[in-house]
Amino acid sequence: MPDERTEARRRRIPEATVVRLPVYQRLLAELLRAGQPTVSSEQLAAMARVNAAKVRKDLSLLGSFGTRGTGYDVAFLIAQIERALGVGLDWPVAIVGIGNLGRALVNSEGFSSHGFRVVALFDVVESVVGHEVGPTVVHHIDRLPEVAAELHPSIGVIATPAGAAQEVADALVTAGVGAILNFAPKVLSVPSDVLLRYVDLSIELQVMSFYQSRRAEAGGAQVPPIRAFGLSLSPEGSAR
Partner DNA sequence: TCGTGTGAACCATTTCACAGCT
Partner DNA sequence: AGCTGTGAAATGGTTCACACGA
Of 27-56, which residues contact DNA (CB under 7 A)?
Answer: 39-42, 50-54, 56
> Residue 177: what are its φ and ψ, rounded to 5°?
-70, 150
Instruction: Let me know: does 114 contact 89? Beta carbons within 8 Å.
Output: no
Q: Does 90 bind a second copy (CB under 8 A)?
A: yes
Q: Does 198 bind DNA (CB under 7 A)?
A: no
Q: Does 10 bind a second copy (CB under 8 A)?
A: yes
Q: How far is the CB of 26 from a second copy (least distance, A)?
A: 7
Subset of 195-224 contacting a second copy (CB under 8 A): 195-215, 223-224
Q: Does 57 bind DNA (CB under 7 A)?
A: yes
- Give dist(CA 52, CA 48) in Å, integer: 10
With contacts defined by CB under 8 A, name the span among 9-17, 66-74, 138-146, 164-172 that binds a second copy. 9-17
- The site for DNA, by CB under 7 A, has a size of 27
Q: How far is the CB of 68 from DNA (least distance, A)?
A: 3
Nearer to a second copy, 57 or 70 (CB): 57
Which amino acid, one-letter code, is at 119?
Answer: V
- Whole-number Cα distances in Å, 185 to 56, 125, 148, 180, 188: 36, 20, 25, 14, 9
Q: Count of H helices and E strands in the chain?
A: 9, 10
Contacts 24+ apart (CB under 8 A), 231-236: 236/49, 236/50, 236/51
- Give dist(CA 98, CA 238) in Å, integer: 30
Nearer to DNA, 65 or 198 (CB): 65
Neighbours of 206 (CB within 10 A): 10
With contacts defined by CB under 8 A, name the span among 31-39, 77-85, 136-144, 164-172 that binds a second copy. 77-85
Subset of 70-89 contacting DNA (CB under 7 A): 70-72
Residues of the shown chain interacting with DNA in the complex, contacts defined by CB under 7 A: 14-17, 39-42, 50-54, 56-57, 59-60, 64-72, 236
